[in-house]
A and B are shown apart, each in its own frame.
Chain A
Amino acid sequence: MALLNFFSTHRNNFFGWIMGITFGFLMSKAGATTYDFHAKMFLLENLRLMIVIGTSVTVAMVGVFILKRSKVKSIVTGQEVDFVKKPYQKGLVLGALLFGVGWGMTASCPGTIPAMIGEGKVAGLFALAGVIIGTMTYGVLQSYLMMARRYAAAEQEKLDLDAFCQQPPTDKE
């Protein structure tokens, strides 16, 4: 069983890697790793990238519809395909605004940065460092929030216990 798990994890990772290579190649060939196409799109001089994303979303929409209807099973996992949607989360609009500023400043996004590095674009290395620092910062903040929530829960438990023992709470009113 352990061996089977080992094999399935690595098969998953292997196909993930192959898909990553394909994605990097396609993003590059679509022009998403070429800085000027980003500038020209937002300056409304050349809408190439807009056409790329519009076409791909339309094609993918049809494909997703067909896959959903046919209840197709995943090739790698053998389970039904999970069309999980990203939920709305607090901070989505603020996060999206910050992301957009970063996009405008660097003409790159988390998916194109690794491809840019593969193409030999040195700026991609700095952008990568930035994305890692930004992700790290978010994780640190979230970890503090998790800690604070646990602390609050523990405090509440203590209060509840005090009430249960019918002792007037001594601190923390």
Chain B
Amino acid sequence: MDILVWPAVPAGIALGLFVIFHFWLMGKPAGCSTGYGNFCGMVTSKIEYFRVGEYAKINNSKLWFLLGIPLGGFLSAMTSPEPWTFSFSMGMYDTILPQTLAGKAIWIVFGGILLGFGARLAGACTTGHALVGGAMLNPPSLLAGGVFFFSAFITTQLLFGS
């Protein structure tokens, strides 16, 4: 199904206001990828890293932030004209990804591993570094954000062979 999207500029303004309001309401920057660490600490107590430092308190608002996102996506789908359905379609990517369902699934899992591992190694994801870090003009975040875009640009160019 297709999501009915807003024009780019109003959507950007809304997201910018969201970042500001998140600071004001929660008293700290918004972030996504750190919450996955909380999730890891939740499912196993064997991995010490997810039980100390910033993960000392596992059940926190970052985890709940992450748990809220699917509902937001669902509400957005509900306000789109097409009915909500399950779909394994990935638009343009369907032509260049492995053609079997299993192959496609493995490809996506592997890409997801790079996202998860890379985000922790870099310290944050697109939200924490590019969006929020960029708004604070934090030099490490600007560097990370630049590399995110550069690396994804090269990857996409290679994938679509242009």
Contacts and interface: CB of A to CB of B under 8 A. Distances in A.
Contacts of A114: 66-67, 69-70, 73
Contacts of A51: 8-9, 12
A169 interface: no
Interface string B57-94: 00111111111111111111100000011111011110
B81 to A, nearest CB: 14
B112 A133 contact: yes
B143 to A, nearest CB: 7
Given A55-B16, A114-B69, A81 B24 contact: yes
B112 A127 contact: yes
A131 B36 contact: yes
Q: Determine the main DSSP class of A at the interface with B.
A: helix
A98 to B, nearest CB: 3
B49 A111 contact: no
Given A17-B65, A118-B71, A143-B47, A106 B115 contact: yes
A1 interface: no
Contacts, number: 503
Contacts of B16: 55-60, 63
A105 interface: yes
A158 B116 CA distance: 38
Contact of A105 (B14, B66, B114): B114
Given A57-B131, A92-B143, A110-B125, A42 B156 contact: yes
A95 B75 contact: no
Contacts of B121: 91-92, 94-95, 98-99, 138
Contact of A134 (B52, B114, B140): B114
A15 to B, nearest CB: 6
A25 B75 contact: yes
A74 B88 contact: no
A127 to B, nearest CB: 4
Contacts of A54: 12
A53 B27 contact: no
B99 interface: no
Given A31-B3, A87-B123, A127-B108, 12 more contacts: A19-B61, A39-B160, A42-B157, A59-B15, A60-B15, A97-B151, A101-B155, A109-B125, A115-B73, A119-B74, A130-B111, A131-B119
Q: 10 closest A-B pairs (Cβ-Cβ)?
A: A130-B112, A100-B151, A24-B72, A20-B68, A134-B116, A104-B155, A55-B12, A59-B16, A74-B27, A95-B121
Interface of B: 1-6, 8-9, 11-20, 22-30, 32-33, 36-37, 39-40, 47-50, 52, 59-77, 84-88, 90-93, 104-105, 107-141, 143-144, 147-160, 162
